[in-house]
Amino acid sequence: MFEIKIDDAKYWKNCIDSIVSLVDEGSFNISKEGISLKAMDPSGISMVYFMAPNKIFSKYNITEKKDKEAAEKESHDSYIGLNLDNLSKILLSSRSGEQLLMKDKENKMALEFIGSNGHRDYTLPLIDVKKSSDNEPKIEFESFIDIKGDFFKSILKDAAQLSTYVGFKAEDDSFIISAKGDAGEVKEEFKVDKDIIQRLEAKKPSSATFNLDYLTRMVNACPSSENISLSMKTDQPIKLSYKIGDAIVSYYLAPYMES
Amino acid sequence: MFEIKIDDAKYWKNCIDSIVSLVDEGSFNISKEGISLKAMDPSGISMVYFMAPNKIFSKYNITEKKDKEAAEKESHDSYIGLNLDNLSKILLSSRSGEQLLMKDKENKMALEFIGSNGHRDYTLPLIDVKKSSDNEPKIEFESFIDIKGDFFKSILKDAAQLSTYVGFKAEDDSFIISAKGDAGEVKEEFKVDKDIIQRLEAKKPSSATFNLDYLTRMVNACPSSENISLSMKTDQPIKLSYKIGDAIVSYYLAPYMES
Amino acid sequence: MFEIKIDDAKYWKNCIDSIVSLVDEGSFNISKEGISLKAMDPSGISMVYFMAPNKIFSKYNITEKKDKEAAEKESHDSYIGLNLDNLSKILLSSRSGEQLLMKDKENKMALEFIGSNGHRDYTLPLIDVKKSSDNEPKIEFESFIDIKGDFFKSILKDAAQLSTYVGFKAEDDSFIISAKGDAGEVKEEFKVDKDIIQRLEAKKPSSATFNLDYLTRMVNACPSSENISLSMKTDQPIKLSYKIGDAIVSYYLAPYMES
């Protein structure tokens, strides 16, 4: 049982968009700490971890389902399986200044948009989401780059003109992006720079190649003022994370291994 | 024989767009009172009634076709059958500040756009438009709602995320909109409110369900500042009308009966 | 061997776009005077002539390939065959304030975008471009019209609503544009006018009909403030030219002969 309110319904849409760009359905874990979701995309090459701490909500009630004794043994967490595409469609209706109240209701999720002129009530069926292995990969990353989100988006867009893959390499004080296709090849080198690259730390040289389509979907929901943090290790999955207000989203993407 | 001038060609395009969103061809009745058109859409589930009073034109000459005696017996009205898609394409060329002169010319319609830099002359073939039953349905409506056009458009857009049909219900002091699909369901309730719902009068409770695609096409040409007037009776066609300047367009749409 | 720099990479993209709208590949001639290209489109009904004088470049080094004696006999010109679609994709990555350095490098073309935050290096393979007959047609034009580029674009757009061909006629002090299709016909007449038609000179009446798709592609890269110069002779190819900064692009288009 939960009853959770967020004062800016449009902001919540941005949060959900960071998930829906990678997966169609998922199971939200509603715990004392906040609302989180872990999911692997259907192809199995990428994962998303989303966490919205309870402080972003103006009301955050979670009541226990069972008697106190049972409750003490068990977790109070609720799991809410949803079709995220449908949730995103519903959130698309958010109007400026509307609040959003979310609660469970007879095996459905109820969403109430509350505006100054009335309210709009949605119900969304709960679904069983097949539990996938969603443990966060344990990688001892060796390189770390913080890059301005908008700039990183434009780099990916340029690389996509030439290829469907992009190579990242962090080495000493350089971050190098490269792509190669029939039409030509490109290589771009960056140094630390207060405007674009705010952190660049390569304990060891780290390089790997990634699918551009996945990367593009991952950066899509990054607010224009935010930085994107990249964590890398040679030929290991990349970790890419950014903040959406006080919520955090992280992605892992397996490297592309040329055969 | 007619020679009619409108000072703002772009405004006339807006008027014609309110018709062309529902029907491809139609027959304009050019009478002393103004230019009107009645048409049923090809599927037969909706009708459009358009009326542009002569006062919106800066020149409005209709000359009699026949000798005076005959003229007295008959109507002086001209009927001008046109492909409205083609008329709309031509009106798309309207440039700011251009006037539009319309007249008949050797079994064609001539349109002359008059700008400060010259004139542009179009001729458009007249066509025979099959006369459909276009008598305005006689319905004793029981509920009346005046709703801000822009807001009504956004409501229809939200409903279209979930369904291809939308339910309207007027009862006491409430106007309720609902839609239901595989993705979930929505219900939104409105009261009278000076910003959005300026009139809400339900002599008897009235409810019916309508095709969203048709409704969307009907509201399409509504200027952003105008109200849309809805007239309803349970399981009867809805009447939807609004003003485009001094012209008026009304639509009827048959209810969707779930089988 | 060449090493050529332009201070505004985005401007160079505009130049290349004027060529790529007509042809997919072409051979640039890099001579002392500047960079030029002549090409016939694959259908053979149109040609493009592009010339960027060396003064638009901030660095313009062409070094001789051979010993001095041979060099004196031969031209110092380089010919650089490129896939222009790919070049255009690369230039799409130009960011505000970036310079572009172009040079040849091991049988490839190197493009280096130099911004305040670093540089981005592209290499583009050279290709063999089949030499087509690209001598400029010798036509003694009889009519000359200078028309504002933006206005000419809007005229072509209006005509395209009715037809795939457009007729131009220059006669005495009039320039007449006409189009005719199933949907209707249009005729627009212009006189000299300081805002739109700045020159209109018809030594003899000149008229011909042209393919609208080709014309539209030809005017596409015309900067919004520039005039387009038309040179005509009855039933002969039209010449259409305009400036992009200090570069000049000219097109020839064969007339459409109704059979």
Confidence grade of residue B65 (pLDDT, cut at 50, 70, 90): low
Contact C158 B93 (CB under 8 A): yes
What residues contact A69, with CB distance under 8 A and at least 6 apart?
none
Quick: pLDDT tens for B72-91: 545 567 889 999 999 999 99
Cβ–Cβ below 8 Å for B161 and A117: no
Which residues of chain A make contact with B174, given a CB cutoff of 8 A? none
- Supply the pLDDT for residue B68: 54
Same domain, A114 and A151: no
Q: Do A147 and A121 share a structural domain?
A: no
Lowest mean pLDDT segment, chosen from A141-155, A230-244, B199-213, C108-122: C108-122
pLDDT confidence of residue C65:
55
> What pLDDT, on the 0 to 100 scale, is given for residue B50?
97
Note the ipTM here: 0.82
Q: Does A158 touch chain C (CB under 8 A)?
A: yes
Average pLDDT, chain A: 91
Q: Which of B73, B60, B107, B113 is nearest to B90 (CA)?
A: B113
C151's enclosing H/E stretch is: helix C149-160
> Could you tell me which residues are beta bridge partners of residue B4?
B60, B102
Instruction: Say if residue A115 is in the same domain as residue A197.
Output: no
Residue C176 lies in a domain: yes
Q: For chain A, give the number of residues.
A: 259
Cβ contact (<8 Å) for B121 and C188?
yes
CA distances from C241 to B199, C10, C41, C230 (A): 60, 21, 16, 7
Select the residue of A86, A95, A117 nearest B184 (Cβ to Cβ). A86
* Per-residue model confidence as pLDDT tens digits over C167-213: 999 999 999 999 999 889 999 999 888 888 999 999 999 999 999 99
Q: Provide the pLDDT for residue A193.
A: 84
- Residue B78 is predicted with a pLDDT of 81
Q: Is residue A91 part of a domain?
A: yes
Do C112 and C172 belong together in one domain?
A: no
Question: Is there a single domain that holds both residue C163 and residue C197?
Answer: yes
pLDDT tens digits along B226-243? 999 999 999 999 999 999
Query: Where does a domain end: C125, C156, C171?
Result: C125
Measured distance CA(C109)–CA(C125) in Å, rounded: 6
What is the per-residue pLDDT for B239? 98
Tokens 């009068």 map to which residue?
B201
Touching chains, C (3+ CB pairs < 8 A): A, B
First to last CA, chain A: 50
Residue of A157, A183, A190 lying closest to C118 (CB–CB): A190
- Predicted confidence band of residue C118 (pLDDT cuts 50, 70, 90): confident
Nearest to A84 by CA among A26, A14, A164: A26
% of chain C exceeding 70 in pLDDT: 93
* Long-range residue pairs from C34-40, CB within 8 A, at least 24 positions apart, any chain: C34/C60, C35/C4, C38/C134, C38/C136, C39/C132, C39/C134, C40/C132, C40/C133, C40/C134
CB hemisphere CA count around A45 (13 angstroms)? 13
Over residues A215-244, the pLDDT tens digits come to: 999 999 999 999 999 999 999 999 999 999
Which domain-ending residue is among B94, B125, B156?
B125
The residue segments making up the domain with residue C36 are 2-125
Q: What does the pLDDT read at residue B193?
A: 84
pLDDT at B133 over 80: no
Residues of B in contact with C154 (CB under 8 A): 93, 95
Of A85, A90, A118, the CB nearest to B188: A118
Residue B254 lies in a domain: no
**Residues on chain A touching C124 (C-beta within 8 angstroms):** 183-184
Q: What is the pLDDT of residues A104-140, one digit of tens each?
A: 988 899 999 998 877 899 999 999 987 766 688 899 9
Which residues is C89 bridged to in the sheet? none
- Write down the pTM of the prediction: 0.86
Claim to verify: residue C77 and residue C168 sit in the same structural domain: no
C131 within domain boundaries: no
- On average, the pLDDT of chain B sits at 91
Residues A6, A101 within the same domain: yes
Residue showing tokens 């169609």: A24
Q: Identify whether B135 is part of a domain.
A: no
CB–CB contact A125 B184 (8 Å): yes
Q: Please list every residue in chain C whose beta carbon sits closer than 8 Å to the beta carbon of residue B92.
A: 158, 161
What's the CATH number where A186 sits? Answer: 3.10.150.10
Q: Which of A95, A125, A155 is the last residue of a domain?
A: A125
Which carries the bigger pLDDT value, residue C79 or residue B214? B214
Residues of B in contact with A93 (CB under 8 A): 154, 157-158, 161, 186
**Residue C75: predicted pLDDT:** 57
Flag if A195 and C117 touch (Cβ within 8 Å). Answer: yes
Task: Specify the pLDDT at position C49.
Answer: 96
Q: Is residue C135 part of a domain?
A: no
The structure tokens 């089988």 sit at B259
Do residues A241 and A152 both lie within one domain? yes
| Residue A56: CB atoms within 10 Å | 20
Tell me the average pLDDT across B124-136. Answer: 82
Of all helices (H) and strands (E), which one includes residue B73? Answer: helix B68-73
- How many DSSP H helices and E strands does chain B contain? 5, 18
3-state secondary structure of A9: helix
Which candidate from A89, A118, A120 shows the least CB-CB separation from B183? Answer: A89
User: Is the domain of B150 the same as that of B177?
Assistant: yes
A95 and chain B in contact, CB less than 8 A: yes
Query: pLDDT of C7-51, one tens digit each?
Result: 999 999 999 999 999 999 999 999 999 999 999 998 999 999 999
Q: Residue B26 domain-assigned?
A: yes
Q: Chain A partners of B195 at a C-beta cutoff of 8 Å? A: 117
Would residue A230 count as lying in a domain? Answer: yes
Cβ pairs bridging A and B (under 8 Å): 46
Number of domains in chain C: 2
Chain C residues with CB under 8 Å of A158 CB are 92-93, 120
Q: How confident is the model at residue B134 (pLDDT cuts 50, 70, 90)?
A: low
**CB-based contact (8 Å) between B97 and chain C?**
no
Residue B110's pLDDT is 96
**C114 & C174 share domain:** no
Q: Does B106 touch chain C (CB under 8 A)?
A: no
Residue A78 and residue A157 in one domain? no
Considering the domain architecture, whether residues B164 and B84 belong to the same structural domain is answered as no
Mark yes or no for CB contact B186/A121 under 8 Å: yes
Report how far Cα B51 is from the mean position of its chain's Cα atoms. Answer: 8
Q: What is the DSSP string of B144-179?
A: EEEEEHHHHHHHHHHHHHH-SEEEEEEETTEEEEEE
Q: What is the pLDDT of residues B180-193, one digit of tens each?
A: 998 899 999 998 88
CATH number, domain at B11?
3.70.10.10
- Nearest residue to C177 via CA among C202, C203, C210: C210
Q: With a cut of 50, which residues of chain A have pLDDT below it?
A: 73
Q: Do B184 and A123 touch (CB under 8 A)?
A: yes
